[in-house]
Structure 1
């Protein structure tokens, strides 16, 4: 949400401010002609860029400024204070820029600069043809970054989805709750792909990857040659082989089509049961509670999201849902669904007009395995996100990459986008290791929890602040080493934890 006041906070920078009021290496948040602006003073002079994140409109003046960059307080996008360039996802559009002028001891922000983008430098390596398999976060981010970096060859993006790449985190939040229009959901319209010469093919199943011939074979039998390939096939929801779990009123939530189907089912439903209490499932439970449905959540653990967050933070989030009428069945497992009643192992029955199953996902590795790539709970890649076959890369939920002395697979939207950006750069010869810190945000009954780092394998949690006051940071440690932080109401602190983990 963008700032809604008629005049953004801070001084009118167009009227000039004392140069001394702009901290060296830092920023002063103000406004020009009613627009929020950040004025920075760096070693090469003063610069002025837009003060609202181009992702969701967060006030960048509340973010973290490091080395000529500003990091968004909400979703950790990163921009250059000199050029306004969007350096890291989830923001893709640049910030506007203004001219600055120093007169004596006063600095003025003058007219906005021409928005025409600078021409990218020619990449070190310029493959003739690149194919991207997958239309999710990683695939979209890679295609966009390839063009930003000056790749001029043939760029084809094959997506099995019927819909263009969309803002998937919103599906379980505002869109499912009915508080976001579908117009918000696509990441870009058709004109974007045409303008950037991205051949986006929707509803396109890939039958095989012929690594030796450097070709992708589509379901229709077409063969598309490639000089570099990105596999960004993501993951698919796990199914439970239980009686009745294949009925038409049983849903999983992964795609826009899934969300549309759930919304349509809500029109004739009074109650819904969720099997599994992970982050997306609990967001969806909150969204359907907003729609007025009676909501039950069945979870084998004693605390929802407790394995990732620990009992106190997980319990805090569960308490937010309970306060809004969500009913939990903890330490419980489902055994069957007859279309109207969900039965649990202890004999408990729950009336449910629809059922939502959220018990994790499985990486889509079949194409990679059949092509002879190394696969181990994901496609095994090196630090540059290249697979065991040269010229074939993987990014997003399907990639298993080296991180902090081990191989991990991270299922976060922003992380997938950033991996796509890194893979794109490496396809063009950047030869850079992917070292970004995992980050995600999750929304529960009006409360945003932001998480940086890896929330698995920790053995100690230390909480500063008070969860009940919605003002705290939980730090997670493994053998005394900080590995993650989760916070509510402390956005700048979470950015600082990300920076500390980045090292």
Structure 2
């Protein structure tokens, strides 16, 4: 057996003592499989030690009651069953039976994976559920409906040509060339067939009739529904300047977009990224990984200052400059003449590949046409139900009452969309569960991950613990003395604790 695949820690079949645990955890093995022992109260559990999302080390995670949270992207698993109870993880982890012989703890047998049960559905549900959207929220809802034992019809209508994918990868590892395309799908094609989910790709939806309870497709066909989830997501804002419609100028939202940028990068030498947003700078980092010369043009004084503050903005800029990115800030592109971009300052950048990342806008046309209440998004209540009974909304389009900030908010985070899709599914089944998850997202810049918990549309001050320049910090964004959000670099456990504190502050 090679060194890399050598099992970790002690042989748990021979037993260990609680005195061997560190911070309530112990990593060992059963046969050739690594197993994590976790003490939670008076009980000890045994679970697979790597998160099923991106294989984050659960031994470094946070135990909350009888669950464990991943330090990387805040997924959550039941220690009892291994079920992924919170995205971005979707797949369950293996669990093992734990026995005690006096003061010895032994692990020998893996438990059977529990089958989905409909036992906790509150009431009989209608038979026909329609989901409009093939992104994180739509997929999260469809998968949760089947996980909960819903046996009725699920039709999922997606305007995209690709199956639901792990969208964060499109600007990160996949675009950088370090992740293969077969990592992208959230589930393989046969999952939808086996789960009885009618996934219709390249399908336009023309209208929704709340009274007749039907959806009109782009080809004129009508599809009846008993419950409907709107998860239409957002679309990139396009650049409205002369010459911006040329084929070498791209936006990034879909698999097709990412493929097109990768293909263009193969023959390009210099790339221009317009916009210093998270997406824009992740694209810049990915194109640097492909050895392109990269220039970034943005109107602000420093990247991400509005969300992360001055000091973190300066750090992000310096990090990208250390990796060869040239910034042109306080500036905008005003015209393209073939490959030549003219800037407002009078400067000129010649680039054979251009990617614009100047923001996205929610796709609200269907909701507006259906007469649903709109307020810079689709207005929903705490159960993600719109102004029309039986029609729910989730993901980038939904504006919901956030108990932590005390405001109605709309955010465009992947993990939020997945979690909202799952909660919407439960409420389509009649469960009446509030959506109370604290918003979370992560961004990757070269070897530096930035985690962000909460939501601060504005802040009075920022309390910094640690060193931003040293890539070891926790930042608290406060307004009126109250912490609204926390950003961190390599403070994963502290980030998890901040998330938990926010949850408990409005429990």
CA distance in 1, matches of 2:370, 2:469: 51
Is residue 87 from structure 1 mapped to residue 88 from structure 2 by the alignment?
A: no
Q: Distance in 1 between matches of 2:145 and 2:21?
A: 36
The two structures have a TM-score, normalised by structure 1, of 0.96
Match 2:101 to one of 100, 103, 115: 103
1:32 is matched with which residue? 30
Work out whether residues 68 and 82 of structure 1, in 8 Å CA contact, stay in contact via their aligned partners in 2. yes
SS of the residue corresponding to residue 329 of structure 1 reads strand
Q: CA deviation at 1:482?
A: 0.5
Q: 1-side partners of 2:206 and 2:343: how far apart?
A: 39
Q: What displacement does 1:346 show?
A: 1.3
Q: Distance in 2 between matches of 1:301 and 1:193?
A: 44
Who is 1:324 aligned against? Answer: 323
Task: Show the counterpart of 1:78.
Answer: 76
The offset of 1:44, in angstroms, is: 6.9
Q: TM (normalized to structure 2)?
A: 0.96
Partner of 1:121: 119
**Residues 144-200 of structure 1: CA deviation (Å, up to 9, x unaligned):** 001111111000000000000001000001111111110101111111111111100
Q: Is the 8 A contact 1:30 1:37 kept in 2?
A: yes
Contact 1:58 1:74 in 2 (8 A): yes
> Displacement of 1:22 after TM fit?
5.0
1:290 aligned residue: 289
Helix, strand or coil at the partner of 1:397: helix
Shift of 1:405: 1.6
| Cα distance in structure 2, aligned partners of 1:221 and 1:142 | 26
What is the CA RMSD across the aligned residues, in angstroms? 1.5
Shift of 1:36: 2.6
Aligned to 1:133: 132
Q: Residue in 1 aligned with 2:338?
A: 339
1:469–1:221 distance in 2 versus 1, CA, 3 Å: same
Q: C-alpha separation between the residues in 1 aligned to 2:472 and 2:408?
A: 33
After TM superposition, the structure 1 = structure 2 runs for residues 198-217 of structure 1, keeping only pairs within 5 Å, are 198-217=197-216
Q: How does 1:446-465 map to 2 (within 5 A)?
A: 446-465=447-466
CA distance in 2, matches of 1:77, 1:468: 28
Quote how far apart the aligned CAs of 1:47 are. Answer: 2.4
Residues 31/150 of structure 1: CA separation in 2 closer, same or farther (3 Å cut): same
**CA pair 59-271 structure 1, distance change in 2 beyond 3 A:** same
CA contact (8 A) 2:130 2:228 kept: yes
Q: Distance in 2 between the 1:178 and 1:46 partners?
A: 41
Contact 2:7/2:32 (<8 A) preserved: yes
Contact 1:23 1:41 in 2 (8 A): no
Residue in 1 that maps onto 2:383? 384
Q: Distance in 2 between matches of 1:122 and 1:307?
A: 44
What does residue 185 of structure 1 align with? Answer: 184
Deviation at 1:85, TM superposition (A): 1.0
Matches within 5 A, 1:155-304: 155-304=154-303
Q: Is the 8 A contact 1:384 1:426 kept in 2?
A: yes
Task: Output the CA distance in 2 between the equivalents of 1:306 and 1:42.
Answer: 40
> 1:480 maps to which residue?
481
Aligned residues: 499
The 8 Å contact of residues 216 and 222 in structure 2, kept in 1 or not, is answered as yes
How many angstroms apart in 1 are the aligned matches of 2:33 and 2:55?
12
CA distance in 2, matches of 1:413, 1:37: 29
* Whole-Å separation in 2 of the counterparts to 1:336 and 1:233: 32
Match status 1:496 vs 2:494: no
- 1:402-450, CA deviations, whole angstroms, 9 ceiling, x for partnerless residues? 1122111110000100000110111111111111011011000111111
Distance in 2 between the 1:361 and 1:241 partners?
14
Q: How much has 1:15 moved relative to structure 2?
A: 1.8
Question: 1:495 Cα deviation (Å)?
Answer: 0.5
Deviation at 1:21, TM superposition (A): 4.2
Q: Deviations over 1:316-354 (max 9, x none)?
A: 111111011100001111101112111111110011112
Is 1:61 the counterpart of 2:59 in the alignment? yes
SS at match of 1:367: helix
Confirm or deny: 8 A CA contact 2:79 2:95 kept in the other structure: no
Q: Is the 8 A contact 1:16 1:107 kept in 2?
A: yes
Task: Give the distance between the partners of 1:326 and 1:186, measured in 2 at CA.
Answer: 31
Unaligned runs of 5+ in 1: none
Distance verdict in 2 for CA 1:249–1:414, change over 3 Å: same
Alpha-carbon distance between aligned partners in 2 of 1:471 and 1:19, rounded to the nearest angstrom: 31
1:117 aligned counterpart, secondary structure: coil
